[in-house]
Amino acid sequence: MATSKQIEQPPPYTVITLVVTVALCAVALFLQWPAAVIALVGILVAASLSRSPQLTGPKDPQTQYPTVGNPGEQQALNRHRFWRTVPGKLLSCGPFWPLTTNMLAAIGVGCIAFTLPYEGAGKLLQLIDGVGALPFLPWINGVFSTLLVAGFGAALRSKDPENGPMPPTDLATLLTQSTSRDPKTFALLVLAVSGALLTGLGTSWWIAAADWYLIFPGGVAGAGAALIVFALVTHAATVTETRRPWLEACEARATWAARWPSMPKLKEFPQLTSHRRLGASDEVWIDEFQAPAMQGAKFWIDKPVPEGIEPLMPANTMVAFLSVPDVAGDGNPITLSRSATKFRVITWNGDHPLDVTDPKVDRELLSVWFDLKVSASCAAAWGSMFSLIPLHAPEALHVEKDEWIGTETGAWKIEYGVTQGVNLPSSMAECVSSAQLALGQEIEVLPIGTSMFIGAITAETTQLEDDSILEQLASEQEMQAWEKRWKDITGPGMQAPAYFPEHDGQEELDSRTVIFSRLFGAPAGLSAKDYFAKATPDRIQSGLKGASWSTASFYVDPHSKKRYPHLMQIMWSEQQIPLNPARIAPTDSARAATWAITGAINAAFLGAKMQRPEVMSVKPLTSRQSRGHIWEVTLALLDGMTMADVRKNQQKLMAALEGCEWLRVGASTRGCRILFGAMPSSRRTWANKDAETSARKLDWEQHFIDSKIKNAREETPELLDVAPLPKNDLVREYRFKMPAGLAIGDVKKESGKLQSTTGNGFLDIRQGATPAEMIIQAAEESPMPNLAFFNWDEVDESKAVPFATNIQGEPMAWDPLTDPHVVLLGATGSGKSAAIQSFLTPAAIQGYELHIFDKPKGAADFQYLVPFSKQVATEYVTIAAALENVYKEVERRKELNQQYGASRVRNLPDEVRPPHMIVVIDEFTSTIKPELLDKITGDETEDQLREREFNVRTNQYKGRIGAAVGKIMREARSAGVSMLVAGQTLSADEMKASPALGNIKNQAAMILLGKASFGQRASAFKNVELAPELGENVPKGRGIFESSEGAPTMFQAWYGADFAEFETGPEAEAAHLRNMVDHISAARDPEADQLFDDDLRPDESEIRAFGEIIQPDAAEDFEDEVIDMGEIDLEISFDEFDLGDAAQDTTSTVGDAQLETAVTALETAVDHNLEPEPEPEPQWESDMVVEPITEPSSPEVSIEQANQPQTMDPATEGAREPGEPGGEGADGMFTRKQFSRPSMADDLFK
């Protein structure tokens, strides 16, 4: 490491002299000599003995003297400089006015020195025979003390030679501040005067009281003390304000001194000569520098921001290096001059920009802002010699006021000049462009001659002093500007069109977009279209300041719609206007919208290489709030172009419109209509109903054409009306008039194509009110919810039984007066069980009497309804007995109707009217389908014979079930008894086993769940051609409902609503069941008298075999009976369903396992087992122990007899004694045994 150079420094003679001087002064005071003289002489001697320190730094390149090498040398050099200034300051004493606080304190010190004793000097004077000078010693002592204090204070203020002398505090500053009515300053002034008076009086009294005869006169000493106190207080009050400019200059000098060394290739640094700060937050610094002699000012102002200075400035700071004028001999600046050695720097904190449109803005700040923005921007663009020099301060163009309201704005005029040799008027346009860029596009910058008009010149909030300014600006600039533009657009050889400034237009398309319009007339022999080939958007925009969009069009009078072929409009905007009409929103200004859409039309026809049409009218079809917009434009086609030509080029027109996704062409008296923009979907907000109808009419016409739905005369269905469904605004309902020769079936046949061309995920086509009308309900996506929750309010209020939500968003209900019975069909996994629940739960709430029969699943899906059901049967024998009980109740009710002369149960008096009954048979197909019987060969084992006998008995029970169902469905309408039969299939073979379904389509509402083919739907519905498609992915519970008096309608069965939709699994199922049970129990009490399998099954004396009860005499002595069930016209075949090996539906909405878990959860909650004991299933193992069949129950049967079809005698089999289960009681109603085991209802609702 290199070591510092060690140089021996001169001896500290000054310090030694000061010590001796202090000692001598102390001795002089003790001996009563005039010490001030000794102090003054000693300080002068000490200052003269000061020596410059030896410096070890590098030599200065100009003076070749060494420079400071370390901080210690700098301190020693500063001390030496201080002592070198002391003699001059002590002897000159400084000016006595304005009176400084330092001088005031020095006079006070002199007064006190005047009163000090001096008798000790008399002896010395006697020795030199100078006693006559003794009276002058007090004066000498006082004067020398005053000189000493005043001079030494001045020397202390001048100890920093780099920043110049520190300004003294003076009384003039205090007086100025006090007259400004500053409360703080006035209080300090009062304190200074009061403190001085108290000090002076106190000092005088103290001297007199203490009888200090050596200090005389005491009043002079008191006055001196008062002056010192007054000086100290006033110094404290004024020192901040007095020295702030000097301190700010010191800060600025240090700031710049730290920046200069970081600039590249800079050896000499400018010296700060003056510093000013402006603004409430000192956000503006104006620094003037003396440039180094080898550089000159031009080096610094050649660019407004010299290279390398910007990174050194604080963040968000604007800076500009500008020239300063030369100064004449009288001190005034020379106009349009530039100093060769001085320059200035404006530094502006970007967090405090200036609003030049504010009429109250500070004028000095405004001048500096224009220098920073306007002059600096011109210098940056055109060089320092082209920097604009303001000839005077900004002049207000607006009316000056004493008070302003917050919304008023202002404008300013600044006259500029440049150095000689530059033609300013011819270059003012370039200057304006630079100034505009620097000030911002929101500030108007307009030139007239050598002046600039800046601010909110044309704003309505600016009250101009002279309104003719605007006319001057318009007339002087527009003519010249457009003449130049047309030369640039058309080139030489073509005459520019005439400009009509009285038709200038300016409209707002939106809050950020303004469109300007100018009208021109072609000269004789030319028309407007002669200019269109050259007046392309890029050429127009190149001549317009800041233009981002432009177009040229024919002029059509907006009121009379009169055409003027020789007139044309040029429209432009400084903001980019989209060509896609979907992105152009309607505005308050119809002209702005017309201009914007006209630009889109021109761009489209230009892109399609077609002759530009005349835009006759523009009309928005959507409102401002719409997410996308649609416009209707009426065009006049020129040069033989037809509507067919436009239609042929539809795709080319759309391609030129920046992603326009929809365009339709229609007829018009003057040429054609074009509707274009966003797709007319349900997301659009239409201007009015006619607008939507107009758009959709043209849209559907194109859809029908694309789908080839038209008659021989190329006619398509005509849209008459469109409206959203009242309770489901996702669905639009379209009403069409069908042309002759086109049927609804033709439309449905092409529904797939129509769905594709319309882009709708849902499409339902049906017959209208008349054969000539067609209704189409459409939605972009399936409008049906995947999970529809129970509408409990509707359940409470409806007179029918609501069970689902339809496509209209309304509850769908089953009315037993219209459809006494319901057939519900659905394959495995279609949600059939949950759909039955959605029927029965509202029915239970409304007071319907429920009878639930389910052999295959043992009523597992309906356990929650058991407490509210009259009969629950899960065995063939008990189901047969229960149905026969129901039929006897039908007979009783019919007699009751006859007794009271009522046509139906509902018309009976309240006191005798029984509740409506709903008989539910789940898995009806398997319930009535006969078991297969093998022929007797004589080789059968005993087990095989018993099995066959078991199947024979089972078929007998199924026959009884089918017979009972048939009679109930035919006869029970007036008795208030309805059947709900559910199954997976009802094929022709299965119907042979049951006479129950004759003429079912005319008696029952049909429900088909899940996805099905056309053939399957044809088997289920009367009006299959009107049945809607459910789509590819059909959620559970989705189906089609066809009433006997209505068309097939899509629905979504209800589900519990007391849990979140996203929940799944056992918790969700438990909540679903709990929800239904809660609502049922809130509406009704559990049934008191109920019949279950134990109540309906024959008594224990009968023999049980293979899990069924077989009466001993059931197989004996019965004759075949043929029951005439009427004509059966139902052919229902669901062969296309993939049912697997099992014919029965063993799933619920969430599956058997989940349902069992849910039911178990409910059971656990109430500490009771809610599930009935499962019926023993037949066991076929060879080692099964079977109780022998007794003789009466097992007669010998021949092979021929066994192979005969087995029939039953309903009269014999159904006979019951009064009082027996299923028998008729004394009151005419069938008697129900009291539920013998603990009541489920009691358990659930304790």
**Is 421 labeled as ligand-binding?**
no
Q: Is 832 annotated as a binding residue?
A: yes
Cα angle 840, 845, 850 (rounded to 5 degrees) comes to 45
- Position 226, amino acid: A
Tokens coding 786: 């995947």
Q: Compute the distance between CA of residue 628 and CA of residue 630 in angstroms, rounded to an integer.
A: 7
Task: Check residue 46 and report its DSSP letter.
Answer: H
DSSP 8-state symbol, 300: H
CA-atom Rg of the chain in angstroms: 56
The Cα–Cα gap between 853 and 883 comes to 9
Single out the residue of 539, 567, 542, 540 nearest to residue 553, CA to CA.
567
Say if CB 677 and CB 631 are below 8 A apart: yes
The β-bridge partners of 661 are none
H helices of 667-824, where?
689-706, 744-749, 751-758, 792-797
Tell me the helices (H) and strands (E) count for the chain, helix number first. Answer: 35, 35
The pair of three-digit structure tokens given for residue 1024, joined into one six-digit string = 């299959």
Nearest-5° Cα angle at 760, 759 to 764: 140
φ/ψ of residue 201, rounded to 5 = -65, -40
Q: Is 458 annotated as a binding residue?
A: no
Q: How far is CA 317 from CA 88, 289, 349, 392, 908, in A?
A: 44, 19, 5, 26, 95
3-state secondary structure of 571: strand
| 570 within 8 A of 520, measured Cβ to Cβ | yes
Dihedral of the alpha carbons of 790, 792, 794, 795, in degrees to the nearest 10: 100
Closest residue by Cα to residue 221 from 152, 142, 121, 150: 142
DSSP output for 579-628: SSGGG----S-HHHHHHHHHHHHHHHHHHTT-PPPEEEEEEE-B-TTSSS
Question: How far apart are alpha carbons 933 and 239 in whole angstroms?
Answer: 125
819 and 1004 Cβ atoms separated by less than 8 Å: yes
The helix or strand, by DSSP H or E, that contains position 484, with its residue range, turns out to be: helix 468-490
CA–CA dist 632, 677 (Å, integer): 9
E strand or H helix at 884: helix 876-900
Q: Where are the alpha helices (DSSP H) in 211-296?
A: 218-259
* 12 contacts: CB under 8 Å, gap ≥ 6: none
Amino acid identity at 503: H
CA distance 1057 to 1077: 12
Does 628 carry a binding-site annotation?
no
Name the amino acid, one letter, at 120: G
949 token code pair: 């006998």
Peptide bond before residue 217 is cis, with ω within 30 degrees of 0: yes
Q: Are 302 and 384 in contact (CB under 8 A)?
A: yes
CA gap 1084, 764 in Å, rounded: 40
Q: 829 among the known binding-site residues? A: yes
Q: How many CA atoms lie within 13 A of 42 on its CB side?
A: 19
Residues 672/666, Cβ–Cβ less than 8 Å = yes
Pairing of strands 513-521, 505-510: antiparallel
Taking the alpha carbons at both ends of the chain, their separation in whole angstroms is 100
Beta bridge partners of 289: 272, 343
Question: Is 826 annotated for ligand binding?
Answer: yes
Contacts of 1071 by beta carbon, 8 Å cutoff, 6+ apart: 1056, 1058, 1059, 1063
Annotated binding-site ranges for ATP: 826-833
Annotated binding-site ranges: 826-833
